[in-house]
Amino acid sequence: QVQLVESGGGLVQPGGSLRLSCAASGSIVSIYAMGWYRQAPGKQRELVALITSGGSTNYADSVKGRFTISRDNAKNTVYLQMNSLKPEDTAVYYCKLDGVASGAYYHSSPYWGQGTQVTVSS
């Protein structure tokens, strides 16, 4: 059993910064990939950033150079540092875990966080 808790969302002015966190718990042995997705009203959910257990990262073109994804394996936590925020970044941000091994089992289905609202506005 795996539980995810997201935090760090809020209201920020354009050009500001926010740091999102997603902590997983539940006898976790390893997590292959941890990522952040976002969904704005009326739009499809999109991948923002992804990081693997080996440290490889992938970013959406729209956030390259502004966002940084990182993970703390000891804490089973993934972070998203968001700098130079733009109004276009306004969305609900969801964390996602893939390839979760907990206890003696490997989970074939991904785990999703509850989502945290990020609003960038003057």
How far is the C-alpha of 115 from the C-alpha of 4, rounded, in Å? 10
Q: Which residue is it, tokens 């089992």?
A: 105
Angle formed at CA 33 by CA 55 and CA 2, multiple of 5 degrees: 130
53: pLDDT strictly greater than 80: yes
- What confidence tier does 104 reach under pLDDT thresholds 50, 70, 90? confident
Question: What's the chain's average pLDDT?
Answer: 95
Poorest-pLDDT segment among 15-19, 47-51, 55-59, 99-103: 99-103
- What confidence tier does 1 reach under pLDDT thresholds 50, 70, 90? confident
- Residue pair 69/49 in contact by the 8 Å Cβ criterion: yes
- Interacting residues of 65 by C-beta distance below 8 A, sequence separation 6+: none
pLDDT at residue 103, rounded to an integer? 84
CA nearest neighbour of 4 among 120, 100, 105 = 100
61: pLDDT strictly greater than 90: yes
Mean pLDDT of 78-99: 97
Query: Counting Cβ atoms within 10 Å, is residue 60 exposed (0-12), middle (13-18) or buried (19+)?
Result: middle
pLDDT of 22-48, one tens digit each? 999 988 989 999 999 999 999 999 999
